[in-house]
Structure 1
Amino acid sequence: MRLSTGYVRASGYAHKVRRVLFALTKGKVDPKEVVRAAGELNSKIFEEFQKRGVDKGDVVRISVEFSIEDGSIVWNYDTLSIEVYKKEEEEKLARAMEEVEERERELDEKIREIENLALNIKGAVDELIEKIEELKQEHTSLKLKAEE
């Protein structure tokens, strides 16, 4: 399997690695193992960032292959690729990243709104079902009284 973060600010790489790894391994490994493996990879990436002088405002794209062996995530560090786009050299890409980040925030907000709406609808449906059951019970008791 291959983990790829896409373009992300260096300051947010660890969160992105964890999110992508959770998505790739959902239902395949224990979540604690995902957290452990993400921490291991993030440490390795951080070391590389320090060696290369990566600034938190730089944009990076990280990819690495991994396998799942006996419920554990095993990184193939030979395939680790870290592309770095220096903010001062790639101002256009940095502006694009700001736009992407803003759109992600907007999307997260819209998703929360839709989730809340879905919960409200579910509540209304549950209430309707309850009212229908009450009407059925009342109707049944009316029938029984009429038959007496």
Structure 2
Amino acid sequence: MRLSTGFVRASGYAHKVRRVLFALTRKKVDPREVVRAAGELNQRIFERLQELGVEKSDVIRITVPFRIEGGSIRWDYEALNIEVYRKDEEKRLAKAMEEVEERERELEEKIKAIEEVALSLKRLSDELIEKIEELKQEHTSLKLRAEE
């Protein structure tokens, strides 16, 4: 498996790592293990960011492979990759943030479409329940008439 944060400001990487890891390992790993592993990875990332001289306002993208062994998350630190887009590199930063915003827009559109389908299904379900109730009432009244 591989964790990838997408583009994120350096000041917010730890939260993003934790969120992505929870999403990737849902129902596969105990949540306490996710918190432990995220903390371990975030410490390693923090050290690398300091070595690279990354500032809080810089944009970064982190990718790192991992595997799950016996309920534990094991990081492949040799393959840890941190891309840095420095604030002073405005063109690259603008492109990176544009990509983030585009993906967020696409995600919002997809979520909206799914919500619309869910609402349609709810309306159909309500109509079906109403029709079933009408049939039950008809059936009951027919039984009563037949018994007379």
TM-score under structure 1 normalisation? 0.78
Q: How does 1:84-99 map to 2 (within 5 A)?
A: 84-88=84-88, 90-99=89-98
Which amino acid in 1 is paired with 2:132? Answer: E
Instruction: Pick which of 19-28 and 129-138 moved more.
Output: 19-28
- Does residue 125 (structure 1) correspond to residue 124 (structure 2)? The answer is yes
CA distance in 2, matches of 1:2, 1:11: 22
TM-score under structure 2 normalisation? 0.78
CA contact (8 A) 2:7 2:97 kept: no
- What are the superposed Cα offsets for residues 35-79 of structure 1, whole Å, 9 maximum, x if unpaired? 221122112211221222201222323222322121011223233
CA distance in 2, matches of 1:72, 1:142: 63
Task: Provide the aligned length of Structure 1 versus Structure 2.
Answer: 147
Which amino acid in 2 is paired with 1:58? Answer: D
Which amino acid in 1 is paired with 2:2? Answer: R
- What are the superposed Cα offsets for residues 74-100 of structure 1, whole Å, 9 maximum, x if unpaired? 223233222323221x31121112223
Instruction: State the shift of 1:25 in Å.
Output: 2.4
Instruction: State the shift of 1:108 in Å.
Output: 4.8
CA distance in 1, matches of 2:5, 2:56: 16
CA distance in 2, matches of 1:45, 1:106: 28
Which amino acid in 1 is paired with 2:71? Answer: G
Helix, strand or coil: the match of 2:79? Answer: strand
Unaligned runs of 5+ in 2: none
- What are the superposed Cα offsets for residues 73-132 of structure 1, whole Å, 9 maximum, x if unpaired? 1223233222323221x3112111222333344345435534543443343233212211
CA contact (8 A) 1:8 1:97 kept: no
Q: Equivalent residue for 2:63?
A: 63
Unaligned runs of 5+ in 1: none
Helix, strand or coil: the match of 1:78? Answer: helix
RMSD: 2.5
